[in-house]
Amino acid sequence: MHIHLHINGSSIMLSDPYPEYGQPLQNPQGYSLQLVVDDIDTRWKRALDAGAEVVMPVELMFWGDRPGQLRDPFGVIWAMNAPAT
């Protein structure tokens, strides 16, 4: 499996680990993937229903945004943020 994301004229390509080809799954090392979404509550529930676990719950921050972090079943950290309106 792989994905090719087009974001603001750039590409991000992701794939599953392939230990049989020398590309094992490794623990994330100080990064997360950030998703800026309009409806964080719907996206958050969808991720939890798909097996993600909460790393940092969604909270309203003093600057007005609502960020949170999840770990997917593969161990990748995903940060979501609903910007202040």
Where are the chain's structural domains? 31-85
Q: Write down the mean pLDDT value for the chain.
A: 86
More confident residue, 30 or 58: 58
Q: What is the pTM of this model?
A: 0.68
Question: CA-to-CA distance for 81 and 69, rounded, in angstroms?
Answer: 9
Q: How far is CA 12 from the centre of its chain?
A: 14
Topology of domain 31-85 in CATH is 3.30.720
What is the per-residue pLDDT for 2? 77
- For strand 77-82 and strand 10-15, is the pairing parallel, antiparallel, or unpaired? unpaired
